[in-house]
Amino acid sequence: MVYRSDNLSEILDHVREQFNFKVDLLPLFGHRLDDHQVRPTLSKTSWFGCFRDDTNEPLGSSVSAGYTPHQTDDVIALVDAAIGAFGRGVTEVKTDFADGHNVLVSPSAEWQKTVAGKDVVYPRLLVSAGYGGTSRLRCSLGLYRCLCENLEMFETISALNFSHKHTSGLLAKIDTIRESFSGLARSWDSLESTIDRAAARTVSISSTLDRVYGTPAENASDAIVRNHEERTEAIVNRLFDERSRGGYGLTEAGRATAWELYQSIQGYQMWDATKRGERRSRLQEALRVSAAPAVRTAERILISA
């Protein structure tokens, strides 16, 4: 759900409406069959699960009895802190729920950065609070690139990611968390410098793609070789299309800027690569792609290097 406003109270009220439920910690039961029993009996286990109180939907993996599920008020506090990090000049928030709360905060247009020509990016601050297992409360600084309509989160740059353990008393720690969020906002200047360096550095297209995806073995099947060639062709075609639309000057044959090539790989994984499994929202898909091994490798080679 997308909501646009420059009024903080309205934004927080909207987030509260979208997450209008509680999450309960309930014991999990399993079947047990003793030696003298013909039918299994239902027995309480030592594990617990998180469940929405409005739909009874289970969330995430099992947890121990000491686990404290966060609630909507905690998310509201995190979103408030995220907005405050950018001076409260927010124009848009996007909410999404998938085994946890996700809120994408879009600061005002004054934060835009022009990489080159028509290639413009904007900061995005993601508040992500999942349930179960080793999940953490996380805030990440990423960007939205208009040229390819991609949301991008950078997994390998630690300065752009902050997380907090799933413990009780979150609201009591909000001042500390707020300061961490402010650090993420200040990191936008650093990210701009990182982008500039990547946009100024040229790399070999073919050798870089080989580092990211590997090369087919000598005895590889025709299908593997064909898939490798088709993927390379799709990435290169995307690169030249975005180069043309973005107004980039042509580089020497077989080379591209590190920024261009990363964007082509990220865009390929987002829009062209075969997707399996359940349908995801745009935000969920962006998070999936940012964690993909190929994108992480490309990020280390081309962006955070």
Please state, as a whole number, how many other Cβ atoms lie within 10 Å of the Cβ of residue 251.
14
- Residue-wise pLDDT for 181-231, tens only, equals 777 777 888 889 999 999 999 999 999 999 999 999 999 999 999 999 999
Residue whose tokens read 């289970």: 58
The Cα 268–Cα 232 span in angstroms is: 10
Q: Which helix or strand (DSSP H or E) is residue 287 part of? A: helix 282-290
Closest CA to 242 of 234, 254, 252: 234
The pLDDT of residue 212: 97
pTM comes to 0.85
Report yes or no: 132 and 50 within 8 Å, Cβ to Cβ.
yes
User: 220 by DSSP, 3-state: which?
Assistant: coil
Closest CA to 104 of 114, 119, 93: 93
Interval 158-171 mean pLDDT: 67
Interval 258-278 mean pLDDT: 85
> In this predicted model, which residue has the larger pLDDT, 239 or 106?
239
User: 8 by DSSP, 3-state: which?
Assistant: helix
- Residue-wise pLDDT for 71-106, tens only, equals 898 889 888 888 877 776 677 899 999 889 999 988
Mean pLDDT score of the chain: 86
pLDDT at 266 over 90: yes
Report yes or no: 40 and 32 within 8 Å, Cβ to Cβ.
yes
In angstroms, the Cα distances linking 80 to 73, 89, 137, 294 are 10, 12, 14, 34
The two most distant CA atoms of the chain are separated, in Å, by 80
